[in-house]
Chains A and B, each alone.
Chain A
């Protein structure tokens, strides 16, 4: 009996260790190392060394991030930023999917089945979250671990369906990764900026400034300041992801979440989309607002922004109302 219990316990431990965030980080790191190697072998890329080194370092951070001392990780991040800063992360324009006649034939026969490959990703993510919940574990971890494993499962599903090769999968994965380039690392970099801003008490400074304009504890006015501030700051930065850490640290948390004890998930996501309304109104978000006017050969460079502005201002007002109402309800 005792041995049996022990066996179950150790199986349990192995199971938990295998299905942990760390495993997923290591797997992602390995994928990045493959991308780095493929870039290094690609003699047609004149920045192949810098590009390969960039993805190699990111892979290393993924694999060792939990055990490296923070200062070492910090220096590695700085090194990546320098490599990108001097323009050594490049790729040749391979936006077009490489195709042979044979592949095209398969494409026709696969039809809508090809969606199964990408649908595997949310499906596995969801399944892991549910499984973690049933096992009494954290559903957040479930979703994140699930997302990691979904990538592996989706490759398997893809290979089975298309009868393609693993090398094709990694070549195409590398093509997508290179197309996004160094901006891939922006979300965690921006989160780091938010943390440094918080430690430098920038948040308190902004919060104090807003308190000078809005004295007292008027939740409704603070919600207006929060949503409007997020939209304006996004317009200036051209990117709601960049604005969010600053607004969250400077307005949302110190002025709304902390003093009023409101549901942080509720106000956080509505603050992010308030930023999206800003994105609709700014030429700084060129990919969404200016590039399309060129693609469609429009006479007015700001035609898209002008068309979107009434929508954006209306939905911004709704952000204030919805946030206020939902705070009342939850």
Chain B
């Protein structure tokens, strides 16, 4: 029974995040509570803490010590902070605008094909280690209007209003999905993005030093499958539209 109480840390994380409390606070509270229930001391019994009762136990590493050690060891996960001035400078001199003009130049005859190209563009950004806030900066202002344009052209409709509402809803959902598919799987193709560094750090903490480049290598098969599955789903979107048009004529 005491054993099961140890899982309260996980419960704290779940409840805390569900109530939208500060993530940092939730995570650290969960760690402290779990450690205390498991009977770990707060501090290691060394240095100025030597022999202190209650907050130390002989021969056991303290929770605060663990927190400090693990945080210091895993600083490498957030080394990207050092790249922020350069990225910020590039943004000031038009990085986002230039990326947007690349997206604008994507030529695709149908919505489905456009979304396949956009997913590939997102994966390319992942390989290059470039982080974009895709939904507000690319999907809403660029990809979505381009999708509507392609849909109008296919349907030979003059305005968006003449497209069935249900179809427009599907196009909206597919737009967001294309961004998510490309972003989620593509970011593991760069060792400078936090995903790969997190896996590296966690595995190291568990006693396995893995090679950063083999992590990237073993991420490739799933990325390839994500592109194929995405292409099938977006092709089905086109197919549905073609069927609808054929039925109308």
List the interface of chain A (C-beta within 8 A of B): 21, 24-25, 27-28, 31-32, 61-62, 65-66, 68-78, 80-82, 84-85, 87, 97-99, 103, 106-108, 110-112, 114-115, 117-122, 125, 129, 139-140, 143-144, 147-148, 150-152, 154-155, 157-159, 161-162, 164, 168-177, 182-202, 205, 236-239, 241-242, 244-246, 248-249, 253, 257, 263-266, 268-270, 272-273, 276, 279-280, 284, 287-289, 291-293, 295-300, 303-304, 306-308, 310-311, 314-315, 318-319, 322, 326
User: Which 6 A-B pairs rank lowest in CB-CB distance, beginning with the nearest?
Assistant: A172-B88, A74-B68, A73-B68, A173-B85, A107-B94, A154-B86
Complex interface: stretch among B106-114, B150-158, B191-199, B241-249: B191-199
Nearest-neighbour CB distance to chain A for B24, whole angstroms, equals: 5
The reply on B235 being an interface residue by CB < 8 A is no
The reply on B14 being an interface residue by CB < 8 A is yes
Please determine whether A70 and B69 come into contact, CB atoms closer than 8 angstroms.
yes
Q: Which of A71, A78, A118, A190 contacts B87 (CB 8 A)?
A: A118
Please determine whether B192 and A114 come into contact, CB atoms closer than 8 angstroms.
no
Please determine whether B191 and A71 come into contact, CB atoms closer than 8 angstroms.
no
Q: Which of A110, A144, A311 contacts B233 (CB 8 A)?
A: A311
- Contacts known (A242-B13, A307-B177); A268 close to B74, Cβ less than 8 A: no
* Smallest CB gap from A201: residue in B: B38
Q: Which of B6, B203, B229 contacts A201 (CB 8 A)?
A: B6
**Complex Cα–Cα for A192 and B9 (A):** 13
Q: Which of A188, A237, A279, A289 contacts B70 (CB 8 A)?
A: A188
**Complex Cα–Cα for A112 and B100 (A):** 11
Question: For A118, what are the chain B residues with a Cβ–Cβ distance below 8 Å?
Answer: 86-87, 90, 95, 128-130
The reply on B239 being an interface residue by CB < 8 A is no
Q: Residues 118-130 of chain B: 1 if any A CB is under 8 Å from the residue's CB, otherwise 0?
A: 0000000001111
Q: Which of B14, B144, B170, B180 neighbours the largest number of chain A CB atoms within 10 Å of its CB?
A: B180
Please determine whether A188 and B90 come into contact, CB atoms closer than 8 angstroms.
no
Please determine whether B40 and A199 come into contact, CB atoms closer than 8 angstroms.
yes
The reply on B139 being an interface residue by CB < 8 A is yes
Nearest-neighbour CB distance to chain A for B89, whole angstroms, equals: 4
The reply on B160 being an interface residue by CB < 8 A is no
Please determine whether A154 and B83 come into contact, CB atoms closer than 8 angstroms.
yes
Please determine whether A28 and B79 come into contact, CB atoms closer than 8 angstroms.
yes
Q: Which of A32, A71, A121, A152 contacts B62 (CB 8 A)?
A: A71
**Complex Cα–Cα for A190 and B110 (A):** 42
**Complex Cα–Cα for A116 and B248 (A):** 50
**Complex Cα–Cα for A114 and B87 (A):** 10
Question: For B163, what are the chain A residues with a Cβ–Cβ distance below 8 Å?
Answer: none
- Contacts known (A173-B87, A176-B87); A268 close to B203, Cβ less than 8 A: yes
Question: For A200, what are the chain B residues with a Cβ–Cβ distance below 8 Å?
Answer: 6, 9, 34-35, 37-38, 40
Nearest-neighbour CB distance to chain B for A241, whole angstroms, equals: 6
- Tally chain B residues at the interface, Cβ within 8 Å: 123
Nearest-neighbour CB distance to chain A for B76, whole angstroms, equals: 5
Question: For A117, what are the chain B residues with a Cβ–Cβ distance below 8 Å?
Answer: 86-87, 89-90, 95
Please determine whether A257 and B208 come into contact, CB atoms closer than 8 angstroms.
yes
**Complex Cα–Cα for A122 and B71 (A):** 25
Please determine whether A199 and B180 come into contact, CB atoms closer than 8 angstroms.
no
- Contacts known (A75-B68, A193-B30); A318 close to B225, Cβ less than 8 A: yes
Question: For A264, what are the chain B residues with a Cβ–Cβ distance below 8 Å?
Answer: 203, 208, 210
* Smallest CB gap from A291: residue in B: B135
Please determine whether A144 and B173 come into contact, CB atoms closer than 8 angstroms.
no
Q: Which of A111, A129, A173 contacts B84 (CB 8 A)?
A: A173
Q: Which of B61, B92, B181, B190 contacts A103 (CB 8 A)?
A: B92
Question: For B211, what are the chain A residues with a Cβ–Cβ distance below 8 Å?
Answer: 139-140, 265
Please determine whether A199 and B184 come into contact, CB atoms closer than 8 angstroms.
no
Please determine whether B10 and A246 come into contact, CB atoms closer than 8 angstroms.
yes
Please determine whether B202 and A191 come into contact, CB atoms closer than 8 angstroms.
yes
Question: Which chain B residues in 192-236 approach chain A with CB under 8 Å?
Answer: 192, 194-203, 205-216, 218-219, 221-222, 225-226, 229-230, 233
Q: Which of A73, A106, A239, A296 contacts B144 (CB 8 A)?
A: A296
Nearest-neighbour CB distance to chain B for A234, whole angstroms, equals: 11
Please determine whether B85 and A147 come into contact, CB atoms closer than 8 angstroms.
no
Please determine whether B203 and A248 come into contact, CB atoms closer than 8 angstroms.
yes
Q: Which of A69, A99, A147, A288 contacts B79 (CB 8 A)?
A: A147
